[in-house]
Amino acid sequence: MTTYPLSASEVNVRQFIHKVYAWMSAGLAVTGACAWYMFSDPRMIVNLVHTPFLFYGLMIGEFILVVALSGWVQRMDAGTAKFAFLFYSAINGVTLSVLFLVYTQASIANAFFMTAGLFGVMSLYGFTTQTDLTSMGNLCFMALLGVILASLVNIWTHSPAVQWAVNYLSILIFVGLTAYDTQRIKALNQFGREGTDEETKGAILGALTLYLDFINLFISLLRVTGKRRD
């Protein structure tokens, strides 16, 4: 089989994507470590749940950090962007630790491995496909808005059918968004800025996007497949 050397631009794209995945993996590792630390003493999780001011304060802090990173990462210096991303990942690990009170460890582990498999396949597809996934991405985004609205309404209606639909649609949405976002992040790379702060901040932004896809896909799969504690 004849192989051809990669062009400089192709090498640059691969190096950029490697940085994106390295930062995403670092964020997931921080999230997992913080969640596991909380689980090491379940009393910390119980205290967190029983302190609404602290719990919701952390969730609001997460939201603020995501907005700040998504909208203003290019205005930050690279060091601040790195810290903000890892700090967000740590807070997310603390809040996600409450899942250990709801689901068995085996269920959480199974959902994680299923997420890793689905995410890997769809991200690879998004990176390699020559098909423009913009239309699919727009459709997934609109469907996500509908799911969010349905979830808010279901807080009051408590409809099992709506919750079932939301859970399964969420899986499909984040599977699609994983492929779309990977393709979009691939296009973010700009030849000639290797090793610069701009490249680092672009990698952080891409890592945050894929991190959110992974976490939301994991939670959606856990809701569908997870076995609740007695």
- DSSP result, 203-222: HHHHHHHHHHHHHHHHHHHH
Question: With bands split at pLDDT 50, 70 and 90, how would you rate the model's confidence at 1?
Answer: very low
For the chain, percent of residues with pLDDT exceeding 70: 92
What pLDDT digit, counting tens, does each position of 111-164 carry? 999 999 999 999 999 999 999 999 999 999 999 999 999 988 988 888 888 889
The verdict on pTM exceeding 0.85 is yes
Distance CA 204, CA 19 (A): 8
CA distance to 145, 154, 172, 177, per residue, from 225 (Å): 23, 20, 14, 21
Long-range contacts of 67-75 (CB under 8 A, 24+ apart): 69/204, 69/205, 69/208, 70/205, 70/208, 73/201, 73/204, 73/205, 73/208, 74/198, 74/201, 74/205
For the chain, percent of residues with pLDDT exceeding 90: 60
For all residues of the chain together, what is the average pLDDT? 89
Distance CA 156, CA 97 (A): 25
Question: With bands split at pLDDT 50, 70 and 90, how would you rate the model's confidence at 61?
Answer: confident
What pLDDT digit, counting tens, does each position of 101-120 carry? 999 999 999 999 999 999 99
Question: With bands split at pLDDT 50, 70 and 90, how would you rate the model's confidence at 193?
Answer: low
- Higher-pLDDT residue of 213 and 77 is 213
Q: What is the pLDDT of residue 188?
A: 76
Long-range contacts of 114-120 (CB under 8 A, 24+ apart): 114/221, 114/225, 115/214, 115/217, 115/218, 115/221, 118/175, 118/178, 118/217, 118/221, 119/178, 119/213, 119/214, 119/217
- Which of 151-165, 167-181, 189-203 shows the lowest per-residue confidence on average (mean pLDDT)? 189-203
pLDDT at 9 over 80: no
Q: What is the pLDDT of residue 107?
A: 94
